[in-house]
Structure 1
């Protein structure tokens, strides 16, 4: 989950749920059509691999989308994942007070 309350969605989930399943295409057949190893397609579907620019180009050509579609999905996923890992100390007064408290303990 992140700040908007939604979990990040990996491009592999979109590939599987919105394209492969509805079209009845197996990972193996799809990998062969893209001239990619099955392992690459499987790792994307399993959300263990990022969509590269080269792969985005191949996906877009086969699925009648754009490379930007796939790259934007990947970028959004990466940003949401990073967002969920960030600890923000706010407001600044709390940070300053914490630092002051720590420095007085050190003396």
Structure 2
């Protein structure tokens, strides 16, 4: 199995999304932290923690910021994920070095790839959830 490499800065972490809010978005709006928090439907304290980089952007917060900024939640979640991943990789460096990557020969062939939809295909029936 080939690992897909994604370019990430090696020396410093990706910017916390709160920094973008603090340095770019809020000054462009001319709104105070209290006004922006009120418009987003979150507390002033919560927004302050995000702006300081001490609180991560949750999916709910990303939805609110994305709606407020007009650019959707994906950007904010992606920035938070990149930030989290960078820190986790450094924190777990030694532990990750001890984990062996499986080889293609060790990979099981999923039942649905063989075309046999008998007992080996254990895919859940999700169609009931969409009615």
Give yes or no for TM over 0.5.
yes
**What root-mean-square deviation, in Å, do the aligned CA atoms of Structure 1 and Structure 2 show?**
2.2
Q: Which 10-residue stretch deviates more, 3-12 or 72-81?
A: 3-12
* 1:47 alignment partner, one of 50, 53, 65: 53
Q: Where has structure 1 moved over 4 Å in runs of 4 or more? A: none
Show the counterpart of 1:35: 41
Show the counterpart of 1:20: 26
State TM-score, norm by structure 1.
0.74
State how 1:62-73 maps to structure 2 within 5 Å: 62-73=68-79
Q: Which has the higher contact order (CA 8 A, sep 6+)?
A: 1
Aligned residues: 90
Bigger fraction of residues in helix: 1
Unaligned runs of 5+ in 1: 93-107
Residue 6 of structure 1: CA displacement?
2.5
Is 1:77 matched with 2:83?
yes
State TM-score, norm by structure 2.
0.61
CA displacement 1:43-64 (0-9 Å, x = unmatched):
0001111111111111111101
